[in-house]
Amino acid sequence: MYRFILSGMCLLMISAGFSQESEMAAIEGGAYIPLYGNDSLPVSVENFKIDKYPVTNRDYQKFLLENPKWKKSEVRALFADGRYLAHWQDDSHLKPDELEDAPVTNVSWFAARAYCKWRGKRLPSLDEWEYVAMADKVSADARKKDGYNEFILSWYERPKSFHQKVGSTYKNYWGVYDMHGMVWEWTSDFNSVIISGETRRDENQDNNLFCGSAAIGSSDLMNYAAFMRYAFRSSVKGNYSIRNLGFRCAQDSNEKENSANEAL
C-alpha cells in the first residue's frame, strides 16, 4: 500500500505499508473447554481474525511516529511503567543489538490496545487467544497429543526467546505463527481470570498465583503449560512492561481493517 502526499506542485508517493505482521488469519469459531471453565463447560468462540505474527519493533516504531504520546519520554506512568520500551535507546531507535523484525516487548496493555485501535483492530480476547493456541501444525486442538505441552514448557525454560524474528516458530493449523516459542502475549481481558479461585471469572481472590494448589480449578490438571499462562496473566497489571511480553491484534470476522497502511 502507498500513501500520497501533496508537496508544493508535486504529488509524492511514499511507502506506507506494514511488514508481514499486518497479515491476518481467518479463524473458524467453535466451542472449547478452557483450562479454567465454569464447571468445565464449553466456551463458545465466534468467527474472528487474528494477526499471523506478533507485532514487531519495526511496526511499533511506525505507530510511535504517528502517536507521539506513546513515546517512552512522553507516555504517562498511569499507562506504562518505567520499563516501557526499555530495549529502545531513545524515542525512535532500538538499541544496537535489537532486531527490527523481533516481536515488540516492554509494551504495556494500554499501549498494545492503543496500537491495535490505531490499526483498526483490537486485542484478542483470552478465549480467542487460547482457542488459536490449542492448535499444532495439523490439528485445531492438540492439547491431548503426546509431547505438545512438553514442547511449550520447554520454551518457557529457554532464555531470551524474544530475540528472534517473527515467523521463526512453526505455522499452526490456522496459519498463525509464534503462538508458542517466542513471547507471552497480551489479551484484552488478561486479568479476567484469578487462578486461585474456583472459576475462571472469579476476581475476588489474590493469593499466591504460582502455588500448586491453584491448579485445583483447572479443567485438565495435566495441562501445566496453559496453567503457567493463566498464572502469568493473573500476576500482571495493565501498565506493566515486561521483556518477554508482546502482543498481536485481532478483529471481528465482519470488520474491514481501517489502518494507517490504507491510501489517503
Average of per-residue pLDDT across 10-32: 64
Residue 111 · residue 70 · CB < 8 Å: yes
Bridge partners of residue 14, in order along the sequence = 3
pLDDT at residue 11 above 50?
no
pLDDT at residue 98 above 50?
yes
Average of per-residue pLDDT across 56-81: 97
Average of per-residue pLDDT across 105-119: 98
Radius of gyration of the chain (CA): 19
- Would you state the pLDDT for residue 40? 63
Average of per-residue pLDDT across 27-31: 96
List, for residues 41-51, the tens digit of each pLDDT value.
899 999 999 99
Give how far the C-alpha of residue 234 lies from the chain's centroid of Cα atoms, to the nearest Å: 15
pLDDT at residue 109 above 80?
yes
Task: Give the model's confidence band at 13: pLDDT under 50 very low, under 70 low, under 90 confident, else very high.
Answer: very low
- Would you state the pLDDT for residue 61? 97
Task: Give the model's confidence band at 16: pLDDT under 50 very low, under 70 low, under 90 confident, else very high.
Answer: very low
pLDDT at residue 84 above 70?
yes
Q: What is residue 172's DSSP assignment?
A: -
Cα gap 11→14, rounded to integer Å = 10
Task: Provide the greatest CA pair distance for the chain.
Answer: 70
- Would you state the pLDDT for residue 29? 96
Q: Which three cell numbers stand for residue 174?
A: 490456522
pLDDT at residue 218 above 50?
no
List, for residues 183-194, the tens digit of each pLDDT value.
999 999 998 876
Q: Which helix (H) or strand (E) holds 160?
A: none
Average of per-residue pLDDT across 208-234: 60
Q: Which of 61, 104, 55 lies closest to 249, judged by CA?
A: 55
pLDDT at residue 32 above 80?
yes
Average of per-residue pLDDT across 232-237: 91
Q: Which of 192, 176, 190 lies closest to 49, judged by CA?
A: 176
Length of the chain: 264
Lowest-pLDDT range, 19-23, 144-148, 252-256?
19-23
| Class of CATH domain 20-252 | alpha beta
List, for residues 121-176, the tens digit of each pLDDT value.
999 999 999 999 999 999 999 988 878 888 888 887 788 899 999 999 999 999 99
- The pTM of this model reads 0.81
